[in-house]
């Protein structure tokens, strides 16, 4: 069976940067599960569907043709939405959409299908706890709040740091306290605090874990 490297953690912890680099280094497929929820959220907003309307959101999640053809690229029904989903409004909507059980069920099924075809580095908020609880390598990537705000603000220079900080606090609250698949560290995940570390240093810690667990055949 293909290998799965599961990386979970809150916004601004560096998951995307690390997961992409690891996938490239290992020759694995990179899967950004958050982008999938953002795609459904974008479609819902375009269709003027309330993000509390679970039934209609479920229909969208099943109907959406979501493709991740290369790192950073996202297609929705054939349209490149890579840039359209990277704004605070979509991020906030995606957090609400992700709390809908039927949406998560639909997208988790797709994520599992993706991992049946190739070795993957998959990042999100419930990969090690729900999507792949038996993943060979599980990491919970974190950073202190100040560092997370700094990183997210650097990615969104057009938004005031104070607003970025508020959005991160709100996102943490929603993701950690939602009833469906909340953001928590899996009991067997390795916790890595990336505060003060370079991406290369974080990558090396995870690569050591990959060599140890995959070479030893651990599940």
User: What is the Cα–Cα distance from 7 to 124, expressed in whole angstroms?
Assistant: 6
Total-model pTM: 0.92
| Sign for the pseudo-dihedral over CA of 39, 30, 193, 127 | positive
Q: Is 63 helix (H, G, I), strand (E, B) or coil?
A: helix
* DSSP line for 144-189: -HHHHHHHHHHH-TTS-HHHHHHHHHHHHHHHHH-SSS-----TTP
Q: Would you state the pLDDT for residue 216? A: 60
User: What is the Cα–Cα distance from 122 to 30, expressed in whole angstroms?
Assistant: 6
Torsion of CA 45, 51, 55, 57, to 10 degrees: 50
User: What is the Cα–Cα distance from 118 to 28, expressed in whole angstroms?
Assistant: 7
Looking at the structure of the chain, the number of domains it has is 1
The answer to whether residues 18 and 209 touch, using CB atoms and an 8 Å cutoff, is no
Q: Which two tokens stand for residue 99?
A: 């709390």
Q: Would you state the pLDDT for residue 11? A: 92
CATH number at residue 199: 3.40.50.300
Domain that holds residue 182: 4-215
What does the pLDDT profile of the chain (219 residues) look like in tens digits? Answer: 789 999 999 999 999 999 999 999 999 999 999 999 999 999 999 999 999 999 999 999 999 999 999 999 999 999 999 999 998 899 999 999 999 999 999 999 999 999 999 999 999 999 999 999 999 899 999 999 999 999 999 988 888 999 999 999 999 999 999 988 999 999 999 999 999 999 999 999 999 999 998 866 544
Q: Please, what is the angle between helix 88-97 and helix 33-46, to 10°?
A: 100
Q: Would you state the pLDDT for residue 1? A: 75
């Amino acid at each position: 069976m293909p290998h799965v490297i599961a990386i979970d953690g809150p916004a601004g912890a560096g998951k995307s940067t690390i997961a992409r680099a690891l996938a490239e280094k290992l020759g694995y497929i990179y899967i950004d599960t958050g982008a999938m929820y953002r795609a459904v959220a974008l479609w819902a907003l375009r269709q003027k569907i309330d993000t509390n309307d679970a039934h209609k959101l479920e229909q969208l999640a099943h109907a959406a043709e979501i493709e991740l053809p290369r790192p950073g690229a996202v297609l929705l029904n054939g349209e490149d939405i890579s840039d359209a989903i990277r704004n605070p409004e979509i991020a906030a909507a995606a957090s609400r959409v992700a709390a809908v059980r039927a949406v998560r069920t639909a997208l988790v099924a797709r994520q599992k299908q993706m991992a049946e075809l190739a070795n993957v580095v998959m990042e999100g908020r419930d990969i090690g706890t729900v999507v792949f609880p038996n993943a060979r390598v599980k990491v919970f990537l974190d950073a202190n709040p100040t560092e997370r705000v700094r990183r997210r603000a650097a990615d969104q220079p057009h938004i005031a740091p104070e607003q970025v900080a508020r959005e991160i606090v709100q996102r943490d609250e929603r993701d950690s306290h939602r009833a469906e698949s909340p953001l928590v560290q899996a009991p067997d995940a390795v916790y890595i605090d990336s505060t003060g570390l370079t991406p290369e240093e974080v990558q090396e810690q995870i690569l050591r874990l990959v060599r140890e667990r995959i070479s030893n055949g651990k599940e």
